[in-house]
Amino acid sequence: MLELTEATRKRIRELQELADKAEGGDDGARLELRRRLREESPEVVAGCSDSARSYRRLLAERSSGGNPLRKEAISERAGRMALELAGENPTPLEVLLSERVASLWVLVELQEALLAAWYYKANATSPTFVLQMARLQESAHRRYLAAIKTLAQVQKLQGPSRVQVNIGGNQINVSR
Amino acid sequence: MAWERRGGNLYYYQVEREDGRVRKRYIGAGEVAEMIAHADETIRRTRAERRERARTELEEAKGLALAGAELHQAAEILARAQMVAAGYHRRKGEWRRRRSA
Protein backbone atom coordinates (compact mmCIF):
# COMPACT_ATOMS: atom_id res chain seq x y z
CA MET A 1 0.00 0.00 0.00
CA LEU A 2 2.28 2.71 -1.30
CA GLU A 3 -0.27 5.35 -2.20
CA LEU A 4 -1.93 7.45 0.45
CA THR A 5 -5.66 7.01 0.94
CA GLU A 6 -7.96 9.73 -0.34
CA ALA A 7 -8.97 10.59 3.26
CA THR A 8 -5.30 11.07 4.24
CA ARG A 9 -4.67 13.22 1.16
CA LYS A 10 -7.68 15.39 2.02
CA ARG A 11 -6.51 15.93 5.61
CA ILE A 12 -3.00 16.77 4.44
CA ARG A 13 -4.39 19.33 2.00
CA GLU A 14 -6.43 20.90 4.79
CA LEU A 15 -3.42 21.02 7.10
CA GLN A 16 -1.41 22.64 4.32
CA GLU A 17 -4.06 25.32 3.81
CA LEU A 18 -4.16 26.04 7.53
CA ALA A 19 -0.34 26.17 7.69
CA ASP A 20 -0.33 28.63 4.76
CA LYS A 21 -2.76 30.92 6.58
CA ALA A 22 -0.96 30.59 9.91
CA GLU A 23 2.40 31.32 8.33
CA GLY A 24 0.83 34.37 6.75
CA GLY A 25 0.13 35.68 10.28
CA ASP A 26 -3.42 34.39 10.89
CA ASP A 27 -3.38 33.54 14.63
CA GLY A 28 -6.83 31.92 14.45
CA ALA A 29 -5.55 29.55 11.78
CA ARG A 30 -2.55 28.70 13.96
CA LEU A 31 -4.80 27.80 16.89
CA GLU A 32 -6.97 25.69 14.59
CA LEU A 33 -3.84 24.07 13.16
CA ARG A 34 -2.64 23.16 16.65
CA ARG A 35 -6.03 21.63 17.45
CA ARG A 36 -6.14 19.66 14.21
CA LEU A 37 -2.59 18.43 14.67
CA ARG A 38 -3.34 17.33 18.23
CA GLU A 39 -6.55 15.53 17.28
CA GLU A 40 -5.95 14.28 13.76
CA SER A 41 -2.26 14.11 13.01
CA PRO A 42 -1.55 10.76 14.77
CA GLU A 43 -3.90 9.02 12.33
CA VAL A 44 -2.63 10.92 9.28
CA VAL A 45 1.00 10.36 10.26
CA ALA A 46 0.32 6.66 10.88
CA GLY A 47 -1.13 6.38 7.35
CA CYS A 48 1.96 8.05 5.89
CA SER A 49 4.27 5.86 8.01
CA ASP A 50 2.62 2.72 6.59
CA SER A 51 3.31 4.03 3.09
CA ALA A 52 6.88 4.92 4.05
CA ARG A 53 7.53 1.36 5.24
CA SER A 54 6.01 -0.08 2.06
CA TYR A 55 8.21 2.24 0.01
CA ARG A 56 11.29 1.13 1.92
CA ARG A 57 10.43 -2.53 1.32
CA LEU A 58 9.91 -1.85 -2.41
CA LEU A 59 13.27 -0.08 -2.65
CA ALA A 60 15.01 -2.88 -0.75
CA GLU A 61 13.49 -5.41 -3.15
CA ARG A 62 14.65 -3.50 -6.23
CA SER A 63 18.10 -2.91 -4.74
CA SER A 64 18.57 -6.58 -3.94
CA GLY A 65 18.30 -7.68 -7.56
CA GLY A 66 15.99 -10.53 -6.53
CA ASN A 67 18.29 -11.91 -3.83
CA PRO A 68 16.09 -12.47 -0.72
CA LEU A 69 19.04 -12.41 1.69
CA ARG A 70 20.31 -9.12 0.30
CA LYS A 71 16.76 -7.70 0.38
CA GLU A 72 16.44 -8.64 4.05
CA ALA A 73 19.85 -7.14 4.84
CA ILE A 74 19.05 -3.82 3.12
CA SER A 75 15.62 -3.63 4.72
CA GLU A 76 17.04 -4.44 8.16
CA ARG A 77 19.82 -1.86 7.85
CA ALA A 78 17.40 0.84 6.73
CA GLY A 79 15.03 -0.11 9.55
CA ARG A 80 17.82 0.21 12.10
CA MET A 81 18.81 3.54 10.62
CA ALA A 82 15.22 4.79 10.96
CA LEU A 83 15.07 3.62 14.60
CA GLU A 84 18.40 5.21 15.43
CA LEU A 85 17.44 8.50 13.78
CA ALA A 86 14.07 8.65 15.52
CA GLY A 87 15.84 8.57 18.88
CA GLU A 88 14.27 7.76 22.23
CA ASN A 89 10.52 8.22 22.69
CA PRO A 90 9.96 9.68 19.23
CA THR A 91 6.71 11.39 18.27
CA PRO A 92 4.78 9.75 15.38
CA LEU A 93 5.97 12.56 13.11
CA GLU A 94 9.61 11.92 14.04
CA VAL A 95 9.08 8.23 13.24
CA LEU A 96 7.65 9.14 9.83
CA LEU A 97 10.46 11.58 9.05
CA SER A 98 13.07 9.02 10.12
CA GLU A 99 11.42 6.39 7.92
CA ARG A 100 11.60 8.84 5.04
CA VAL A 101 15.32 9.51 5.55
CA ALA A 102 16.00 5.75 5.65
CA SER A 103 13.96 5.17 2.46
CA LEU A 104 15.73 7.95 0.63
CA TRP A 105 19.07 6.57 1.77
CA VAL A 106 18.20 3.25 0.06
CA LEU A 107 17.04 5.14 -3.05
CA VAL A 108 20.26 7.19 -3.21
CA GLU A 109 22.40 4.06 -2.75
CA LEU A 110 20.46 2.24 -5.46
CA GLN A 111 20.75 5.09 -7.93
CA GLU A 112 24.45 5.55 -7.19
CA ALA A 113 25.02 1.86 -7.89
CA LEU A 114 23.09 2.10 -11.17
CA LEU A 115 24.97 5.22 -12.20
CA ALA A 116 28.33 3.64 -11.35
CA ALA A 117 27.43 0.61 -13.47
CA TRP A 118 26.50 2.91 -16.35
CA TYR A 119 29.74 4.86 -16.06
CA TYR A 120 31.62 1.57 -16.09
CA LYS A 121 30.10 0.67 -19.45
CA ALA A 122 30.23 4.28 -20.61
CA ASN A 123 31.49 3.46 -24.09
CA ALA A 124 28.51 1.15 -24.56
CA THR A 125 25.84 3.47 -23.13
CA SER A 126 24.52 6.62 -24.66
CA PRO A 127 25.70 9.78 -22.82
CA THR A 128 22.08 10.99 -22.82
CA PHE A 129 21.03 8.05 -20.65
CA VAL A 130 23.96 8.54 -18.28
CA LEU A 131 23.09 12.24 -18.01
CA GLN A 132 19.42 11.51 -17.28
CA MET A 133 20.40 8.97 -14.65
CA ALA A 134 22.83 11.46 -13.09
CA ARG A 135 20.05 14.08 -12.89
CA LEU A 136 17.74 11.56 -11.24
CA GLN A 137 20.43 10.65 -8.74
CA GLU A 138 21.12 14.32 -7.99
CA SER A 139 17.43 14.95 -7.37
CA ALA A 140 17.19 11.96 -4.98
CA HIS A 141 20.28 13.19 -3.14
CA ARG A 142 18.77 16.67 -2.73
CA ARG A 143 15.57 15.14 -1.35
CA TYR A 144 17.62 12.99 1.00
CA LEU A 145 19.50 15.98 2.41
CA ALA A 146 16.27 17.99 2.69
CA ALA A 147 14.66 15.08 4.57
CA ILE A 148 17.57 14.97 7.06
CA LYS A 149 17.29 18.70 7.60
CA THR A 150 13.51 18.55 8.17
CA LEU A 151 13.94 15.71 10.69
CA ALA A 152 16.58 17.70 12.56
CA GLN A 153 14.32 20.78 12.64
CA VAL A 154 11.36 18.83 14.02
CA GLN A 155 13.57 17.06 16.57
CA LYS A 156 14.87 20.44 17.68
CA LEU A 157 11.31 21.40 18.60
CA GLN A 158 11.09 18.47 21.00
CA GLY A 159 14.36 18.46 22.80
CA PRO A 160 17.92 19.59 23.22
CA SER A 161 19.15 22.98 22.08
CA ARG A 162 21.41 21.50 19.44
CA VAL A 163 20.77 18.65 17.07
CA GLN A 164 23.43 17.01 14.97
CA VAL A 165 22.65 14.30 12.47
CA ASN A 166 25.40 12.33 10.77
CA ILE A 167 24.45 10.00 7.98
CA GLY A 168 26.77 8.62 5.36
CA GLY A 169 29.23 11.49 5.76
CA ASN A 170 26.53 14.18 5.56
CA GLN A 171 26.33 16.27 8.70
CA ILE A 172 23.46 18.63 9.39
CA ASN A 173 23.58 20.94 12.40
CA VAL A 174 20.60 22.90 13.57
CA SER A 175 21.12 25.29 16.46
CA ARG A 176 18.72 27.59 18.24
CA MET B 1 24.59 -1.90 -43.44
CA ALA B 2 23.52 -2.91 -46.92
CA TRP B 3 23.90 -5.44 -49.66
CA GLU B 4 23.65 -4.08 -53.17
CA ARG B 5 23.15 -6.07 -56.34
CA ARG B 6 25.27 -4.99 -59.30
CA GLY B 7 25.59 -6.98 -62.47
CA GLY B 8 24.15 -10.11 -60.88
CA ASN B 9 26.57 -10.03 -57.90
CA LEU B 10 25.92 -8.95 -54.31
CA TYR B 11 28.28 -6.41 -52.77
CA TYR B 12 28.37 -5.44 -49.13
CA TYR B 13 28.61 -1.78 -48.02
CA GLN B 14 28.89 -0.30 -44.55
CA VAL B 15 26.78 2.81 -44.16
CA GLU B 16 28.06 5.36 -41.64
CA ARG B 17 26.97 8.80 -40.60
CA GLU B 18 29.80 11.31 -40.48
CA ASP B 19 29.33 15.02 -39.66
CA GLY B 20 25.62 14.69 -40.39
CA ARG B 21 26.21 13.09 -43.80
CA VAL B 22 25.64 9.50 -44.76
CA ARG B 23 28.76 7.81 -46.13
CA LYS B 24 28.83 4.41 -47.82
CA ARG B 25 32.00 2.37 -47.53
CA TYR B 26 32.57 -0.52 -49.93
CA ILE B 27 33.52 -3.76 -48.17
CA GLY B 28 33.36 -6.39 -50.86
CA ALA B 29 31.61 -9.57 -51.99
CA GLY B 30 31.74 -13.27 -51.22
CA GLU B 31 32.45 -15.18 -48.05
CA VAL B 32 34.56 -12.54 -46.30
CA ALA B 33 31.93 -9.85 -46.93
CA GLU B 34 29.28 -12.20 -45.51
CA MET B 35 31.37 -12.72 -42.36
CA ILE B 36 31.84 -8.98 -41.93
CA ALA B 37 28.11 -8.39 -42.51
CA HIS B 38 27.31 -11.02 -39.88
CA ALA B 39 29.70 -9.35 -37.39
CA ASP B 40 28.16 -5.92 -38.14
CA GLU B 41 24.68 -7.31 -37.56
CA THR B 42 25.75 -8.83 -34.20
CA ILE B 43 27.26 -5.50 -33.11
CA ARG B 44 24.13 -3.62 -34.18
CA ARG B 45 21.84 -6.04 -32.32
CA THR B 46 24.01 -5.92 -29.16
CA ARG B 47 23.95 -2.11 -29.17
CA ALA B 48 20.17 -2.07 -29.64
CA GLU B 49 19.77 -4.51 -26.72
CA ARG B 50 22.03 -2.36 -24.52
CA ARG B 51 20.04 0.74 -25.42
CA GLU B 52 16.80 -1.05 -24.59
CA ARG B 53 18.22 -2.30 -21.27
CA ALA B 54 19.43 1.21 -20.41
CA ARG B 55 16.02 2.65 -21.28
CA THR B 56 14.25 0.07 -19.09
CA GLU B 57 16.60 0.72 -16.17
CA LEU B 58 16.10 4.45 -16.48
CA GLU B 59 12.31 4.07 -16.58
CA GLU B 60 12.43 1.84 -13.51
CA ALA B 61 14.65 4.32 -11.65
CA LYS B 62 12.26 7.16 -12.57
CA GLY B 63 9.29 5.09 -11.41
CA LEU B 64 10.93 4.34 -8.07
CA ALA B 65 11.73 8.00 -7.46
CA LEU B 66 8.21 9.00 -8.48
CA ALA B 67 6.63 6.37 -6.22
CA GLY B 68 8.06 8.15 -3.16
CA ALA B 69 7.27 11.68 -4.33
CA GLU B 70 3.79 11.90 -2.79
CA LEU B 71 5.06 10.53 0.50
CA HIS B 72 7.97 12.97 0.47
CA GLN B 73 5.58 15.87 -0.10
CA ALA B 74 3.15 14.70 2.60
CA ALA B 75 5.96 14.39 5.16
CA GLU B 76 7.16 17.91 4.28
CA ILE B 77 3.65 19.33 4.74
CA LEU B 78 3.18 17.60 8.09
CA ALA B 79 6.58 18.78 9.34
CA ARG B 80 5.86 22.32 8.16
CA ALA B 81 2.44 22.28 9.85
CA GLN B 82 4.14 21.19 13.07
CA MET B 83 6.70 24.00 12.83
CA VAL B 84 4.07 26.64 12.02
CA ALA B 85 1.79 25.43 14.83
CA ALA B 86 4.73 25.73 17.24
CA GLY B 87 5.06 29.39 16.27
CA TYR B 88 7.81 29.25 13.66
CA HIS B 89 7.90 30.85 10.25
CA ARG B 90 10.38 30.64 7.38
CA ARG B 91 12.73 33.46 6.59
CA LYS B 92 15.08 33.00 3.63
CA GLY B 93 14.54 29.26 3.85
CA GLU B 94 15.36 29.06 7.58
CA TRP B 95 12.85 28.54 10.36
CA ARG B 96 12.60 31.42 12.87
CA ARG B 97 10.44 31.66 15.95
CA ARG B 98 7.75 34.34 15.85
CA ARG B 99 8.10 36.87 18.65
CA SER B 100 4.35 36.94 19.19
CA ALA B 101 3.97 33.14 19.27
pLDDT tens digits, residue range A31-72? 999 999 888 888 888 888 888 888 988 999 988 888 999 999
Q: What's the number of domains chain B is made of?
A: 2
pTM given for the model: 0.79
**Does residue B13 sit in the same domain as residue B57?**
yes
Q: Which of A20, A43, A100, A115 to mutate to test the interface with B (most CBs of B within 10 A)?
A: A100
B43 and B60 together in one domain? yes
pLDDT higher than threshold 70 for residue B76: yes
Do B6 and B47 fall into the same domain?
Answer: yes
Instruction: Read off the pLDDT of each residue in B4-17 and give the average, rounded to a whole number.
Output: 90
For A66, phi then psi, to 5°, come to 85, 0
Instruction: Say yes or no to pLDDT of A80 above 70.
Output: yes
My answer on whether B44 and B77 are in the same domain is: no
Chain A residues whose CB is inside 8 A of the B95 CB are 153
B75 lies in the same domain as B62? no
In A110-129, the residues whose Cβ lies within 8 Å of chain B are 110-111, 114, 118, 121, 124-126, 129
Q: What is the mean pLDDT of residues B8-15?
A: 91
Interchain CB contact of B50 with A (< 8 Å) = yes
CA distance A58 to A112: 17
Domain region containing B15: 2-67
Q: Of the candidates A4, A23, A58, which has its C-beta nearest B70's C-beta?
A: A4
Neighbours of A6 (CB within 10 A): 8
Is B35 part of the contact surface with chain A (CB cutoff 8 Å)?
A: no
Measure the CA–CA gap between A12 and A32, rounded to whole angstroms.
14
Q: Identify all chain B residues contacting A129, using CB atoms and an 8 Å cutoff.
A: 51, 54-55, 58
Q: Do B43 and B22 sit in the same domain of this protein?
A: yes
- Flag whether pLDDT at A166 surpasses 70: no
Q: Tell me what pLDDT residue B93 has.
A: 78
B63 and B75 in a common domain? no
Q: What is the pLDDT of residue A162?
A: 45
Q: Is residue B6 domain-shared with residue B49, that is, in the same domain?
A: yes
Q: Indicate if B61 and B76 belong to the same structural domain.
A: no
Tally of CB atoms within 10 A around A97: 32
Q: With an 8 Å Cβ cutoff, is A57 touching chain B?
A: no
Work out the average pLDDT over B1-15.
89
Helix (H, G, I), strand (E, B) or coil at B24: strand
Closest C-alpha among A165, A150, A23, A20 to residue B97 = A23
Query: Which ranges in B1-101 belong to alpha helices (H)?
Result: 30-67, 69-85
How far is Cα A141 from Cα A19, in angstroms, rounded to an integer? 27
Which of B65, B94, B78 has its CA nearest to residue A144? B65
Residues B54 and B96 in one domain: no
| Residues B60-70: tens digit of each pLDDT | 889 988 888 88
- Kindly determine whether residue A143 and residue B72, on different chains, have CB atoms separated by under 8 Å: yes
Q: Do B61 and B75 fall within a single domain? A: no
* Rounded-to-integer distance, Cα A151 and Cα A83, Å: 13
Is B74:A4 a contact under the CB 8 Å cutoff? yes
pLDDT in tens, A128-153: 888 888 899 999 999 999 999 999 99
Measure in Å the smallest separation between the Cα of B26 and chain A Cα atoms: 26
Residues of A in contact with B50 (CB under 8 A): 121, 124-125
Residues B76, B63 share a domain: no
